Each structure stands twice: as structure tokens, then as C-alpha cells.
């Protein structure tokens, strides 16, 4: 059959590719970001209780109300910021659907979307499929600092959306208050929408604070926040997330959302709402992951990989330039096949596959997996 592809240059994602390669070679899989330990038994039980108690039919289009109330409470607690549960919060099928739906709702043909590279892989195809054009700002290892003068030079009358992501996947860096103020200044008095992908909001290390757009009033009124329970509660397979935005933006979002998924898995929403009654379930997350990051980095401190400790997320970037000058995709594949450890090469997220000779390793793993991973990395 003949058809014209809407995404002619897109192939299977690197996450799928590397996870499949890990399986083929029976390698330790630190590539795709997911935990190798179970999700909480208490949470699992709450979801099955929800099923037993009849939460088996369509949830309201915006999502289960108790869950939206739990989210309102969380933003009040953490940021003293209010999102109205009826009008400003929608539960989605993971952050990915929220991101796709936001872009579908607001991007017209030839609208421009500014993204920062390395960029999480779902942003660019979503823009393309909706007829938009991505304008990239390339950040460089090891600090991935933003040159705000460059951003300013790339904003035009066609700029419709700026996508930001702090804590940042894949680099593990976070944005400072200064970055947020720069963004606020550059977007002031414009109609630019900010899509703030905050899926790792609870995973910020070393006593630093997460910079949510909701802390900055002028940013808040133009922003969507996207979030993922898969990342918070160690169950990426459930694909439940949410987004928050001021009422007018959210009303537009829901016009698309209702015909995209309408609503998402109801018992999981009810179970998560009950689980979140104990705020420790998300407030303690950074300690849990910081201990894992430190364990992993201590174990590989004598290896030939160089690193700056991740400031957030559950990913650690390792620089292998002292080991080889191979292209990162080739090196990642060779490590998987020969050394039985899989990672993610960063160049695939960069403009023109720019190669900083760094690989991303996921440390959302049992201590035992991290010890085995370190043994391998120390041999390379």
C-alpha cells in the first residue's frame, strides 16, 4: 500500500531498542528508565480494593475526583500553589499522553516550539505530527547550562510553546531559580505557552529545591505542568500521570483529551488517591534515590568513567572519553553485547546526533543490580 508517512525520519525509540538488545544479550539493563524492584504492596492492594469496591467503569473525563483533590493538596503543601481540582487538573495516560495532547491542542501548522537538547524523545515527534516546527537550543556536557541569550534569539512571533524539563532526563541536571527567572522574563507579555515536564519533581538531590513553574506567578499563568505517577510510585507500566494548568488552558486541553483517551484506568486512580493520603509516599522519594545514586557512584569511583553526580532524576550520566573515542551509540551497543550492561547513548537526543561521549545509566535498581553493574563498569 502507498501512504505518505507523517513521521518519515522516526524509527523505534532508543529505549525500546536498548531494552531489546539487553534481552538479546542477557545483559544488565540500566538503559530504559524503570525500576527492577516491585511497586509498593500497599499501593497494589489499594488498587485491587478499588476494583473490589466497584471502581471499574469510566472515571470522569478529567479523572477521579479524589485523585485530583490529592494533587491539589500536594501543590498546596509543596509550593503553596493552588490548582483547582475541577478546572485545572486532568489525569492522563502517563505524562506522554499529557504532552502529546497539549501539543495537539495548541500547535497549528508552522507554529514554532522551542526545545532544549538533549531532549526527551517524545517532544519532537509530537510537534512534527501536528505540523509544528521545533527550534532546538543545544546544551552541552557536562553542565548542560542554558545560554539565555541564545534562547532569546530563537524566540520569534511564531513561537507558540517552550518545552522545559527540570530535573532533566537524560542529563540528570536541574534548573536554578536564575534559569526560571530568565524564562519568566523572556516570556513576559507574550502569548507563549510553557510546557513544563516535571515528571522527576520529587527526585532532587543534595538539599536543592525543585523549581516548579507554579512557584513563579507569571510562568504559572502560561504553563502546563506534566507529571507521571509511574516515576513517583515505581510503576511505570501503569501509565497514569496528570497535568495542571490555569482554567482557560485546561479547558482547551480537555477538548482534545476527551477524544484522545476520554479517561484513564479508574481503579489505579482511586488506589493512588488513597495511597497519597500519606505524604511520605512522595516526600521521601529523593532520599530513596539519593542513597542509590551515592551507592552507585561510590562503587564506580575508581573506574575509568568520569562523572558529575546527578542533581536529580534517577539517571547518572557517565563520560567514557578516557576509555574510547567510539561513537556513543556504537559504544553502548558494544557494552551491551560484550560486557553485558545496557545504557542509553545521549547523542540520539541531540541536534545532528552531537556526541559528547556520554552514556546514561538508570539507578532505579536494587542494590544488588547496582553492585553487579559497578563490577562490570570497573572492568571496562
State the pairing for strand pair 344-345/358-362. Answer: antiparallel
For ligand PMP, how many residues bind (rule: CB under 6 A)?
15
Q: How far apart are CA 348 and CA 333, in angstroms?
A: 13
Residue from 19, 72, 90, 96 in contact with ligand PMP (CB under 6 A): 96
Of all residues in the shown chain, the one whose CB is closest to ligand PMP is 94
Binding letters toward ligand GLN, positions 6-25, x by CB under 6 A: -------x-x----------
Task: Give the CA dihedral 43, 241, 349, 151, nearest 10 degrees.
Answer: -130
Residue from 29, 90, 101, 228 in contact with ligand PMP (CB under 6 A): 228
> Considering the rule CB under 6 A, would residue 120 count as an interface residue with ligand PMP?
yes
In the complex, what is the shortest distance from the CB of residue 120 to ligand PMP, in angstroms, rounded to a whole number? Answer: 4
The three-point CA angle 349-352-354 to 5° equals 65
By CB under 6 A, the residues from 137 to 196 that bind ligand PMP are: 165, 169
> Considering the rule CB under 6 A, would residue 236 count as an interface residue with ligand PMP?
yes
Binder of residue 241, out of ligand GLN, ligand PMP, none (CB less than 5 to 8 A by kind): ligand PMP
Residue 315 and residue 33 in contact, taking contact as beta carbons nearer than 8 Å = yes
In the complex, what is the shortest distance from the CB of residue 299 to ligand GLN, in angstroms, rounded to a whole number? Answer: 21
In the complex, what is the shortest distance from the CB of residue 237 to ligand PMP, in angstroms, rounded to a whole number? Answer: 9
> Considering the rule CB under 6 A, would residue 267 count as an interface residue with ligand PMP?
no
| CB nearer to ligand PMP: pick between 27 and 163 | 163
> Considering the rule CB under 6 A, would residue 378 count as an interface residue with ligand GLN?
no
In the complex, what is the shortest distance from the CB of residue 156 to ligand PMP, in angstroms, rounded to a whole number? Answer: 26
Half-sphere exposure of 24 (CA within 13 A, CB side): 13
Q: How far apart are CA 339 and CA 235, in angstroms?
A: 28
Residue from 90, 169, 290, 350 in contact with ligand GLN (CB under 6 A): 169
CA neighbor of 36 nearest in space, from 372, 373, 363 = 363
Residue 173 and residue 167 in contact, taking contact as beta carbons nearer than 8 Å = yes
Residue from 17, 27, 29, 32 in contact with ligand GLN (CB under 6 A): 32
Kindly state the greatest CA–CA separation across the chain. 58
Binder of residue 32, out of ligand PMP, ligand GLN, none (CB less than 5 to 8 A by kind): ligand GLN
DSSP-assigned letter for residue 271: H
Question: In 30-185, where do the E strands start and end?
Answer: 89-92, 112-117, 133-138, 159-164
Query: In whole angstroms, how large is the CA radius of gyration of the chain?
Result: 20
Q: Which residue shows C-alpha cell 545496557?
A: 342
| CB nearer to ligand GLN: pick between 14 and 78 | 14
> Considering the rule CB under 6 A, would residue 241 count as an interface residue with ligand PMP?
yes
In the complex, what is the shortest distance from the CB of residue 241 to ligand PMP, in angstroms, rounded to a whole number? Answer: 4
In the complex, what is the shortest distance from the CB of residue 324 to ligand PMP, in angstroms, rounded to a whole number? Answer: 27
- Angle of helix 247-260 relative to helix 94-106, nearest 10 degrees, comes to 110
Binding letters toward ligand PMP, positions 271-300, x by CB under 6 A: ------------------------------
Burial of residue 238, with CB atoms counted within 10 A of its CB: 0-12 exposed, 13-18 middle, 19 or more buried: buried
3-state secondary structure of 100: helix
Given the rule CB under 6 A, which residues bind ligand GLN? Answer: 13, 15, 32-33, 169
Given the rule CB under 6 A, which residues bind ligand PMP? Answer: 33, 94-96, 120, 165, 169, 197, 199, 228, 230-231, 236, 239, 241
Amino acid at each position: 500500500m502507498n501512504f505518505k508517512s507523517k513521521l518519515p525520519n522516526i524509527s523505534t525509540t532508543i529505549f525500546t531498542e536498548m531494552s531489546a538488545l539487553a534481552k538479546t544479550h542477557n545483559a544488565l539493563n540500566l538503559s530504559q528508565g524503570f525500576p527492577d524492584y516491585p511497586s509498593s504492596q500497599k499501593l497494589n492492594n489499594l488498587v485491587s480494593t478499588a476494583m473490589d469496591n466497584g471502581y471499574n467503569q469510566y472515571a470522569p473525563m478529567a479523572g477521579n475526583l479524589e485523585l485530583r483533590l490529592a494533587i491539589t493538596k500536594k501543590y498546596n503543601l509543596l509550593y503553596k500553589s493552588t490548582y483547582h481540582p475541577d478546572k485545572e487538573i486532568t489525569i492522563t495516560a502517563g505524562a506522554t499522553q499529557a504532552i502529546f495532547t497539549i501539543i495537539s491542542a495548541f500547535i497549528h501548522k508552522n507554529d514554532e516550539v522551542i526545545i532544549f537538547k538533549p531532549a526527551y524523545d517524545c517532544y519532537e515527534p509530537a510537534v512534527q505530527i501536528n505540523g509544528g516546527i521545533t527550534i532546538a537550543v543545544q546544551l552541552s556536557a557536562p553542565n548542560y547550562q542554558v545560554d539565555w541569550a541564545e534562547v532569546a534569539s530563537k524566540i520569534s512571533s511564531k513561537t507558540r510553546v517552550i518545552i522545559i524539563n527540570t530535573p532533566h532526563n537524560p542529563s540528570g541536571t536541574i534548573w536554578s531559580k536564575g534559569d526560571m527567572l530568565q524564562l519568566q522574563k523572556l516570556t513576559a507579555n507574550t502569548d507563549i505557552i510553557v510546557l513544563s515536564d516535571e515528571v522527576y519533581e520529587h527526585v532532587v538531590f543534595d538539599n536543592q529545591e525543585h523549581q516548579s513553574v507554579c512557584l513563579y506567578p507569571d510562568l504559572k499563568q502560561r504553563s502546563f505542568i506534566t507529571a507521571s505517577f509511574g516515576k513517583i510510585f515505581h510503576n511505570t507500566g501503569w501509565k497514569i500521570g496528570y497535568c495542571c494548568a490555569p482554567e482557560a488552558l485546561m479547558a482547551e486541553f480537555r477538548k482534545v483529551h476527551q477524544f484522545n483517551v476520554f479517561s484513564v484506568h479508574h481503579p489505579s486512580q482511586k488506589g493512588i488517591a488513597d495511597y497519597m493520603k500519606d505524604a511520605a509516599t512522595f516526600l521521601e522519594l529523593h532520599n530513596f534515590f539519593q542513597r542509590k545514586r551515592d551507592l552507585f557512584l561510590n562503587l564506580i569511583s575508581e573506574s575509568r568513567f568520569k562523572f558529575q553526580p546527578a542533581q536529580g532524576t534517577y539517571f547518572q550520566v557517565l563520560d567514557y572519553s578516557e576509555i574510547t573515542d567510539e561513537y556513543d551509540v556504537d559504544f553502548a551497543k558494544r557494552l551491551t553485547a560484550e560486557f553485558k550492561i545496557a545504557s542509553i547513548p545521549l547523542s540520539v537526543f541531540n541536534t545532528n546526533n552531537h556526541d559528547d561521549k556520554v552514556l546514561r545509566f538508570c539507578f532505579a535498581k536494587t542494590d544488588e543490580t547496582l553492585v553487579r553493574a559497578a563490577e562490570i563498569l570497573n572492568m571496562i
